[in-house]
Chains A and B, each alone.
Chain A
Amino acid sequence: MSTMEPASITIETFRKIFEAGKRFDGRKLLDFRELYIDYTVSKNAEGSARVKLGKTEVVVGVKLTIDKPYPDSMEKGNLMVSGDFLPLASPRIEHGPPKFVAIETPRLVDRAIRESGMIDLKKLVITPGEKVWTVIIDVYPINDDGNLVDAATIGAVVALKNAYIPGITEQGTADYKHRTKNKLPLSTETYPLSFSFYKVGKAILLDPTREEEEIADVRVSFALSKWNKQYMINSCQKTGDTPLSKEEIERIAELLPKKYDELNEKLKSFL
Chain B
Amino acid sequence: MAIKRLDGRKQHELRKMFAKVGVIPNADGSAVFAFGETIAIAAVYGPRLLHPQHMQNPATGILRVNYDLFSFSVSDRKKPGSSRRSQEISKMTEHALAPVLDLKEFPNTVLDVQIYILQADAGTRTAGINAASLALAHAGIPMKDLVCSVAIGKQDKDIVVDLTKAEEDFEGGEGPTDFPLAKVANSDEYTLLQLDGKISTSLVKEVLTIAEKSCREIYEVQKKALKEVVN
Contacts and interface: CB of A to CB of B under 8 A. Distances in A.
B25 A1 contact: yes
Given A44-B72, A82-B80, A176-B75, A87 B66 contact: yes
Interface string A37-48: 000011111001
B91 interface: no
A267 to B, nearest CB: 22
Interface in A31-67: 41-45, 48, 55, 57, 59, 61-63, 65
B40 to A, nearest CB: 12
Interface stretch (B114-122, B146-154, B172-180): B114-122
Interface string A151-184: 0000000000000000000000000110000000
Q: How large is the interface on B (under 10, 10 to 19, 20 to 34, 35 or more residues)?
A: 20 to 34
Contact of B72 (A1, A45, A87, A91): A45
A62 B70 CA distance: 12
B71 interface: yes
A94 B112 CA distance: 10
A143 B72 contact: no
Contacts of B51: 94
For chain A, what secondary structure do more than half of its interface residues adopt (helix, strand, loop), or is it mixed? loop
A90 B114 CA distance: 11
B71 to A, nearest CB: 5
B74 interface: yes
Contact of B118 (A41, A94, A144): A41
A142 B41 CA distance: 9
Given A61-B72, A83-B80, A143-B26, 7 more contacts: A43-B37, A44-B119, A61-B70, A88-B114, A89-B24, A91-B48, A176-B75
Interface of B: 23-27, 37, 39, 41, 43, 45, 48, 51, 66, 68, 70-77, 80-81, 112, 114, 116, 118-120
